[in-house]
Amino acid sequence: MFGIGELAIILIVVILLLGAKRLPDLARSAGKSARILKSEARAMKADSASTSASGSDSVPGAQYSVRPGEPMRDAGPTTPRDAEGRPPTSPQ
């Protein structure tokens, strides 16, 4: 993908743009972000494993859930419709 020469040039450009004093702070904050992301991913895996182990098929916060093999029910249209399924037109 990139050779040693290209990576060296990119590194030199980054040092010139950001300055040598800001690079350690940048690397430190990138490391913290990576650790937070990794811990959140582990927590999500553990949470999804515990909910699948409990047998819950519903989505938290959902008003209704459909279990496998159960037919979905239509709640009907939310706006009034005429016989052909179109919304009524207002008189002019």
- The pLDDT tens digits of the residues spanning 11-61 come to 888 888 878 788 888 889 999 999 999 999 999 998 887 777 665 555 555
What pLDDT shows up at residue 6? 92
Separation in Å, CA 76 to CA 10, 13, 21: 59, 61, 63
Q: What φ, ψ does residue 43 adopt, rounded to 5°?
A: -65, -40
How many CA within 13 A on the CB side of residue 39?
A: 6
Q: What is the DSSP string of 41-61?
A: HHHHHHHHHHHHHHT--SPTT
pLDDT score for 29: 92
Is 84's pLDDT higher than 80? no
Please report where in the chains the tokens 């940048």 appear, as a residue: 26
